[in-house]
Structure formats: C-alpha cells, structure tokens
C-alpha cells in the first residue's frame, strides 16, 4: 500500500506557487519609448531614398504573434517605402506587393544589391545576425536603423547607427502614426523594381532545367496560402530565395544560418504533420537527401501527404561551384546515387523520375493529387545547374573592400 505524503503547504503558500508558475505569462514585451520613436521618425523623414528589409526575427515573431504580419504589411502600406526580405524573412510581408524589390541570397553582387547600394537609409526589421547578412556595412556607407525586439550584437558586417528596441508591432504602428503622409521620398528607389525582378527571373521559361525554370514550375503547383515549401541545403536554395514568391509567413522554410544538409526531409515531415490539409513539398539535393533518406519510412508509417523533390546531379553542387570560383581543381564532390524511384518504392512510397522540363509540372500535380508520400526525382544537367551560382548577375562598380573591422 502506497503511503500518501502529507500536504505541508499553507493556503498562502499554494497561492504563491500558482502565481510563481504563472510568471511567464505576466511578462509583456518591452515597448519603445516615445522619445526614441520621435528620434527614429525624424531620421526616416529626412531620408532621400529609404529601404526596408524584413529578416528572420520578424518571421519568427510573426509565428507566435498572429497580428504581427498584418502590422508589418500596414507599415509598408502606410509609409510607401519599398522593401526586401532576407531568405528567412520571406513571407513576412506579401511579395505580391508592388513595393517588393527582391530577396538577397548573397551578401553582395546580385541585381537586388543595386537597391541597397542606392539607399541612403536602411531599416532592417527583425534582423538576425545568425543569418547570412543581406548586405555588408562599410565605413562611409548607408545609415542603418535596427528595428527589433532585441539589441543587435555588433559584428564586423553589421553595426547599426541607431536602434529601436521593443515589440515590433507596437514600434511599427507608432512609427506609422508619425510618418504616414510625411515621406515625399518614400518611393525614390521604386524605379529599380521592374528591371531588377526581370533580370532575376530571366531564365524562368528556358527549355532546360535552369534553376529559375525549376523554381517557376514549382511555383505553379504551390498555392500561395495553403502550401509549404521546405528546403534542404544546396545551391538551389539561392534561386529559390530569389525567385519563389512567398505571400504568407512560414510558407517557405529554409535554414540560412548553419545551413544544415539533410534537414529537408525531416522538416517536411513535421510540416506535413502540423498542416495535413496543405500541399507540403520538401525540395532536396541528392547529397542532402541521402543524409536522412531513411526518414521516408517515418513519413510512410505516419501516413503523411508529402511530396519530396530530389535534384539529381550526382554532385555537391555548391562546393563544386565554390571550388571553381576560387580556381581550384574539383575535389571530393562527385558521387553515385541509388535509383531513387526504386528506393522510394522499397519504403512503400511512390516514385517518379522526370527527365524533361515540360514533364515536371504534370508530375508534381499528379503526386499531390495522388496523396501519400511521393518522391519525384529530377535529372539535372550539371552545366545548367551550375550557372545558377556562377553566372554574375550584376557587374558592380569598384567599391571599398575593407569592412568596418578592418578600419581603425
């Protein structure tokens, strides 16, 4: 017979315990002071060519604060300032907006960096320094105002002159109240939008598996608000970031921090578990997929609806391109693959191999309509695949190469 422990707590003690356990729910996010808001609003008003950049921390905050996405969209509308997103900030504000200018996939040298170079004031909203920086701050460059819920850790590539710290939604509403109708130069950079977006998507209709064409075809089968695209890590991530239009928070999931290979399939499994009525696709390179391919068994066992697209070029493409860009001989990036269709079938999933560009959209539609776990292998021509990274999208004028950390 189990002996019951005597309750020695007093009623007052019980009350204190309840209150203590509820402490986490009593704390509210800090809000920016009126004095700071007035100072920041004055700086924005003086700008000749302002630019917004929504980052990873804004996307994370929107996931836990359901009203924040609307607050961010309203701030863009009320101020009329053009915006970019980082890779992990995609979807915080709809990219169907006429003020969306693009997504930097690298830190410099892309078409979209022309906008950054010509801005005199940049407002990163929810910038997270764990993410690959969308631009590099240099001495004598643009003024930067960091708007976030946490202070920016100063780094060699990011040391903002001003910071507006507090709950992002409150900060943006308060700034909107101070700025609406008072920014005659808000859209000074907007003339760059069309040529930049056109150049970024220039190969979207080519009769080859160019990465831009691949992203364009995937976009055709992924509906804007009830689909989730999950990426593994490889060079295709760059083209997805540049070309895949994202219109709602957390509908494009990728890792732009540690960029862990092998994460695509497990992440897709979780997305399919949480959103069983959405179209969920995991886009993987052949190298990344093989690191966690055994999780096909998990997906099948859980009876998920999940489409896995495998880009098969028998190469760690990002590493090959980086070696080539530095003039090195190729080393250690080539490998053989199994028959991915038969591998899928061995796990009691379905499998399809796509060898021509025109067959991709029908194959993806059939995979989604058929339900269950479906692997779609896409045979990639390495020379086409490689161009997505090695092509120089923009010829940049000579600029100072020293970073802030290099200067006294």
3 state DSSP class of 85: strand
Least confident of 105-119, 200-214, 331-345: 200-214
Contact 280, 305 (CB under 8 A): yes
Neighbouring C-alpha atoms within 13 Å toward the C-beta of 200: 27
pLDDT of residue 326: 84
Q: For 175-263, list the strands marked E by DSSP.
A: 227-231, 252-253
Residue 406 has pLDDT above 90, yes or no: no
271 CA to centre of own chain: 16
> CA 334, 217, 250: angle at the middle one, nearest 5?
90
Q: For 149-219, list the strands marked E by DSSP.
A: 162-165
**Band of residue 64 on the pLDDT scale cut at 50, 70, 90:** confident
Mean per-residue pLDDT of the chain: 87
User: Does residue 164 come out as left (phi exceeding 0), alpha (psi in the -120 to 50 range) or beta?
Assistant: beta
Least confident of 5-9, 72-76, 110-114: 5-9
pLDDT in tens, 291-339: 999 999 999 999 999 999 999 998 888 888 888 878 899 899 999 999 9
Residue that is written with structure tokens 């005199």 in the block: 120
pLDDT of residue 384: 54
Token digits of residue 336: 């053989």
pLDDT of residue 276: 97
Residue that is written with structure tokens 């949480």 in the block: 274
Contact 228, 91 (CB under 8 A): no
> CA 40, 43, 48: angle at the middle one, nearest 5?
140
Running DSSP on this structure, what letter comes out for residue 89?
G
What percentage of residues in the chain have a pLDDT greater than 90?
A: 70
**Nearest-CA neighbor of 147 among 49, 51, 242, 64?**
51
pLDDT of residue 207: 78
pLDDT of residue 323: 86
pLDDT of residue 27: 54
Neighbours of 343 (CB within 10 A): 19
What percentage of residues in the chain have a pLDDT greater than 70?
A: 87
Residue 396 has pLDDT above 60, yes or no: no
pLDDT in tens, 148-171: 999 998 888 999 999 999 999 999
Q: Which domains does the chain have, with CATH numbers?
A: 34-195 (3.40.50.1220), 201-390 (3.40.50.970)
Total-model pTM:
0.86
| CA dist., res. 59 & res. 85, Å (int) | 10
Task: Give Cβ neighbours of residue 1 (< 8 Å, ≥ 6 apart).
Answer: none
Considering only residues 14 and 46, tell me which one the structure prediction assigns the higher pLDDT: 46
Burial class (CB in 10 A: 0-12, 13-18, 19+), 241: buried
Residue 16 has pLDDT above 50, yes or no: no
| CA dist., res. 243 & res. 128, Å (int) | 22
**Band of residue 257 on the pLDDT scale cut at 50, 70, 90:** confident
Burial class (CB in 10 A: 0-12, 13-18, 19+), 162: middle
Average pLDDT on 363-381 reads 95
Token digits of residue 82: 């053009």
Q: Side by side, which strands form the sheet with 279-285?
A: 252-253, 227-231, 279-285, 306-312, 373-379, 350-354
């Amino acid at each position: 017979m189990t002996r019951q422990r005597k309750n020695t707590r007093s009623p007052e003690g019980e009350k204190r315990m309840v209150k203590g356990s509820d402490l986490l729910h009593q704390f509210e996010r800090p809000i920016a002071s009126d004095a700071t808001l007035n100072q920041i609003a004055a700086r924005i008003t003086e700008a000749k060519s302002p630019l917004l950049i929504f980052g990873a921390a804004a996307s994370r905050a929107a996931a836990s604060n359901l009203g924040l996405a609307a607050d961010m969209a309203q701030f863009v509308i009320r101020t009329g300032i053009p915006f970019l997103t980082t890779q992990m900030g995609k979807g915080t504000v709809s990219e169907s907006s006429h003020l969306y200018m693009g997504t930097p996939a690298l830190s410099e040298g892309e078409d979209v960096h022309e906008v950054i170079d010509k801005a005199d004031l940049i407002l990163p909203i929810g910038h997270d320094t764990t993410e690959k920086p969308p631009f590099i701050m240099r001495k004598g460059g643009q003024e930067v105002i960091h708007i976030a819920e946490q202070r920016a850790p100063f780094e060699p590539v990011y040391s903002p002159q001003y910071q507006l710290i507090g709950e992002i939604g409150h900060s943006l509403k308060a700034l909107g109240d101070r700025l609406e109708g008072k920014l005659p130069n808000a859209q000074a950079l907007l003339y760059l939008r069309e040529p930049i977006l056109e150049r970024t998507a220039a190969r979207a209709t080519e009769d080859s598996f160019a990465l831009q064409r691949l992203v364009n075809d995937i976009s055709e089968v992924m509906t804007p608000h009830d689909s989730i695209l999950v990426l593994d890590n490889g060079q295709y991530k760059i083209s997805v970031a540049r070309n895949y239009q994202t219109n709602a928070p957390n509908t494009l999931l990728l890792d732009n921090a540690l960029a862990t290979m092998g994460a695509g399939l497990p992440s897709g499994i979780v997305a399919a578990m949480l959103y069983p009525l959405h179209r969920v696709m995991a886009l993987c390179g052949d190298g990344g997929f093989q690191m966690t391919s055994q999780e096909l068994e998990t997906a099948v066992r859980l009876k998920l609806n999940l489409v896995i697209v495998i880009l098969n070029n028998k190469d760690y493409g990002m590493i090959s391109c980086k070696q080539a860009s530095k003039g090195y001989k190729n080393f250690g990036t080539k490998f053989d693959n199994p028959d991915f269709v038969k591998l899928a079938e061995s796990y009691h999933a379905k499998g399809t191999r796509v060898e021509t560009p025109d067959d991709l959209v029908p194959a993806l539609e059939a995979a989604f309509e058929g339900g269950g776990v479906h692997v779609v292998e896409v045979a990639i021509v390495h020379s086409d695949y490689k161009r997505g990274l090695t092509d120089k999208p923009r010829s940049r004028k000579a600029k100072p190469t020293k970073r802030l950390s290099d200067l006294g």
